[in-house]
């Protein structure tokens, strides 16, 4: 049987902070849908811009949602509403809106974050502050997805593209592993030296080792086009294996020819 409750039971919180049990708010919804005008309207219901930036149970803010779905105008709206750069780049376990944008190739969102005052240092962060040892940098995420324009946007924002994670893996390692020769070319065009492209990770593996192990001949070609010498391609990892060794071991005949 329905029991009448006191009117205060039905009192509504401020619109921007109306949340489901998982912490999802109207600001999250507006950001996901790309409704920059709604962000402005919601701002009028809260005391400060930062009050728009509630965190849901997954550690995601409206800025994460805007970045994930490519809504640069929402980032602009949040900044105009008074959300400070530090709040725009809220990090839960090292995963920021810059990671979201880079992972999905949203170059315009990266540009919007930079225009909103997010520093290069904040965009470089992630792998060094996360509790999860698998967390990558935004540049690595862009490389994994083969998103050269996102890398270019990060570079334009002043980000050091070749900062590695805690395993010293760089965007060159990720590009090589996933077969994105275009990313190797983009890194070279951004001024990354042949020596840096071939920097070893903690296991001594270089981008050439990754390309050879996963059968990506085009990446070996891109490394050579970027100035990597044949001698560098013959570097050994901590197990004493060269890229050629991995090509033979994994049965990639076309790479055996290229690396011999």
- Would you say residue 178 has pLDDT above 60? yes
pTM (predicted TM-score): 0.87
Distance CA 159, CA 138 (A): 10
Tell me, yes or no, whether 126 lies in a domain. Answer: no
Q: Judge residue 126's burial from the number of C-beta atoms within 10 Å of its C-beta, 0-12 exposed, 13-18 middle, 19 or more buried.
A: buried
Comparing 68 with 134, which gets the higher pLDDT?
Answer: 68
pLDDT of 48: 83
- Would you say residue 152 has pLDDT above 70? yes
Average model confidence (pLDDT) across the chain:
88
Classify 259 as helix, strand or coil: helix
- Would you say residue 85 has pLDDT above 90? yes
H or E stretch at 171: helix 171-178
Size (the chain), residues: 260
Worst-scoring range by mean pLDDT, 89-103, 186-200, 207-221? 89-103
Distance CA 224, CA 5 (A): 74
| CA torsion through residues 85, 87, 92, 98, sign | negative
Same domain, 6 and 86: yes
Tell me, yes or no, whether 144 lies in a domain. Answer: yes
Q: Taking residues 243-259, what's their average pLDDT? A: 94
Distance of CA 179 to CAs 33, 174, 189, Å?
Answer: 33, 8, 18
- Would you say residue 14 has pLDDT above 90? no
Q: Please, which residues have CB within 8 angstroms of residue 7's CB and are 6 or more apart in sequence?
A: none
H or E stretch at 114: helix 107-115
Give one DSSP letter per residue of 61-94, joined into a string. -HHHHHHHTT-HHHHHHHHHTT--HHHHT--BTT
Contact 23, 55 (CB under 8 A): yes
Q: Taking residues 233-242, what's their average pLDDT? A: 97
Residue among 129, 44, 45 nearest 94 (CA) = 129
What is the chain's alpha carbon radius of gyration, rounded to the nearest angstrom? 22
Same domain, 80 and 164: no
Domain count across the chain: 2
Residue 197's CB: how many other CB atoms inside 10 A?
26
Distance of CA 177 to CAs 22, 30, 172, Å?
Answer: 36, 37, 8
Distance CA 195, CA 212 (A): 18
Same domain, 4 and 55: yes
Tell me, yes or no, whether 226 lies in a domain. Answer: yes
CATH of the domain at 107: 1.25.40.20
Tell me, yes or no, whether 173 lies in a domain. Answer: yes
* Residue span of the structural domain in which 248 resides: 136-260
- Among 116, 151, 185, residue at a domain's last position: 116
Question: What share of the chain in percent tops pLDDT 90?
Answer: 75
pLDDT of 126: 56
Tell me, yes or no, whether 124 lies in a domain. Answer: no
Residue among 112, 107, 189 nearest 147 (CA) = 107
Summarize pLDDT for 106-126 with one digit per residue, the tens.
999 999 999 999 999 988 865
- What tokens were used for 52? 């728009």
Distance CA 77, CA 70 (A): 14
Same domain, 148 and 89: no
Same domain, 101 and 148: no
Distance CA 76, CA 120 (A): 18
């Amino acid at each position: 049987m329905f029991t009448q409750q006191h009117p205060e039971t039905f009192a509504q919180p401020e619109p921007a902070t109306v949340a489901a049990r998982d912490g999802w708010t109207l600001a999250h919804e507006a950001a996901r849908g790309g409704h920059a005008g709604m962000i402005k309207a919601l701002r009028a219901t809260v005391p400060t811009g930062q009050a728009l930036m509630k965190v849901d149970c997954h550690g995601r803010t409206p800025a994460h949602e805007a970045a994930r779905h490519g809504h640069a105008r929402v980032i602009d709206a949040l900044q105009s509403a008074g959300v400070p750069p530090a709040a725009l780049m809220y990090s839960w376990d090292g995963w920021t809106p810059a990671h979201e944008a880079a992972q999905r190739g949203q170059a315009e969102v990266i540009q919007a974050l930079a225009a909103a005052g997010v520093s290069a240092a904040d965009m470089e962060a992630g792998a060094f502050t996360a509790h999860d040892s698998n967390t990558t940098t935004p540049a690595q995420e862009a490389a994994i997805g083969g998103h050269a324009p996102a890398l270019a946007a990060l570079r334009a924002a002043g980000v050091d593209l070749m900062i590695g994670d805690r395993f010293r893996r760089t965007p060159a390692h990720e590009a090589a592993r996933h077969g994105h020769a275009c990313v190797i070319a983009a890194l070279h065009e951004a001024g990354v030296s042949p020596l840096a492209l071939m920097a070893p990770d903690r296991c001594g593996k270089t981008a050439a080792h990754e390309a050879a192990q996963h059968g990506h001949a085009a990446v070996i070609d891109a490394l050579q086009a970027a100035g990597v010498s044949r001698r560098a391609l013959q570097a050994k990892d901590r197990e004493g294996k060269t890229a050629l060794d991995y090509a033979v071991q994994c049965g990639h005949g076309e790479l055996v020819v290229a690396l011999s």
